[in-house]
Chains A and B, each alone.
Chain A
């Protein structure tokens, strides 16, 4: 009985295993093997020898190191920032009743928006053309700040656009996860906290405030 069940279980898993095996596991292993093959030619599938030359090459490549640095900066900035913003949005969404569904949809839209369209919008925002400096520069000009070339300009201007885009793109997914986490918190916890006398706006001075005390730990499970 047990054995039969096991077999059935594997059978159900088979499509996923095949798919993941072919497109994830096999290429992963294969790429790892290739990385040691020096002078690999993809057309003829030949190589000269085995060694660590590829690694040495890439670690001495200034472009690669720059990319590594850029990625590191991007992650350091966007991950905490997007999580904090997403959390604020989720708590906001969780607290309102009218138009809740509408706002939830609006915040999820970027997730399903075509990348090409997004690119176009960001171009309008930041790209300098013959006719305009872009919407962002237009707004900057109102405050008397000079036009900044966001696309080919200074390093931090470009980094800003990249961070802005990354945060914007990952936001819906994070909001979705956090909203469902908050929604799964039993209403009784909020009521209990109310009876226990925590105020929604009280800072952490007099013990943990309602959000820190009830919401976060309870939603952490999801």
Chain B
């Protein structure tokens, strides 16, 4: 089932009663989620990703905008009539019911023709339990299980109704990302999950949505978003170790960091820029144009991480360059020189922090 979000906006009244300011948790969210895909909503805490999830589930009503499941407008529908499965961060398993009863609970609440027979319920419960591999724990109470097992029960309870959309709130805390991927693939249910763990989200999602302050920054395939971030925030949010950011200058089609012209950037207008360089964008080169002060080398096995300082470093931490372990800076060297891979360098406007494109040769 494809899910369409149209101009979805949610405002909350401000906590401060004296001012009439509103907190805009989700601002003008437009997104068409293709059928049967796994979508990761990510962003720092407080960015509105959980609110977006709750809007899709129907637990909160949007201030404006519409939500469609397939061709049905579900905006005004309460959660139980939307056909959503929701897995809470706290799992919210009913503590007095066994695993079997927990999973069966949504089926027992179906009414009329939708309500399956006893045998059918039993069959579907076992099917859901097998899907998440807990069929040997059916008579346990939630209190007697580990966090990971509880989370599996919560997922089984969410999928037993065969929901049109499955929603997961921070599912990666106790369960492997791969496991989520497998469950989603086996059921084929359109799935949206919320996480702050960008690494895991990128590894399993078909598409990711990066949010900040209630505003969607970028939507796309994980690799595309990583390779072509639209602004400084997205470039900084994705990638481990994080992207290196320098306070740079474009003059005559060349990028200057400090006094050195480190890269040809044809097509970029002159002016101050933020230059983001992915850690894997550095090539160790004795004759390279970019000089950094070497502070250390961290060995990681296959790769090494060259840790450097630079007066124009605008990032939070030290500069890190990831290079193959076959090359390493000379022992006792005070400085290292790099050549840059142009497709790993992104320029951003100094004020708006929007991406400035240049021709990569």
Contacts and interface: CB of A to CB of B under 8 A. Distances in A.
Interface of A: 186, 188-189, 191-192, 194-199, 202, 206-207, 213-214, 217-218
B94 A217 contact: yes
A206 B112 CA distance: 10
Given A195-B80, A196-B109, A207-B108, A188 B94 contact: no
Interface in B154-186: 157-158
Given A186-B90, A191-B86, A206-B111, A196 B106 contact: yes
A206 B90 contact: no
Given A198-B109, A213-B94, A217-B94, A192 B78 contact: no
A94 to B, nearest CB: 17
Contact of B109 (A186, A191, A206, A217): A206
B57 interface: yes
Nearest to A209: B109
Contact of A189 (B80, B84, B94, B158): B94
Contacts of B85: 195
Contact of B59 (A186, A191, A198): A191
A202 B112 CA distance: 14
Contacts of A202: 109
B317 to A, nearest CB: 36
Contacts, number: 58
B86 A206 contact: no
A87 B110 CA distance: 28
B105 interface: yes
A194 B79 contact: yes
Is the contact region of chain B dominated by helix, strand, or loop, or is it mixed?
loop
Given A195-B84, A197-B110, A207 B105 contact: yes
B15 interface: no
Nearest to B158: A195
Contacts of A194: 59, 78-80
Interface string B66-102: 0000000000001110001110111010111000000
A217 B85 CA distance: 23
A192 B105 CA distance: 11
A170 to B, nearest CB: 27
Contact of B95 (A188, A196, A198, A217): A217
13 contacts: A186-B90, A188-B88, A188-B89, A189-B92, A189-B94, A192-B88, A192-B92, A195-B59, A195-B84, A196-B105, A199-B80, A206-B111, A218-B94
A99 to B, nearest CB: 15
Nearest to B111: A206
Contacts of A199: 80
B159 to A, nearest CB: 12
Nearest to A213: B94
A207 B109 contact: yes
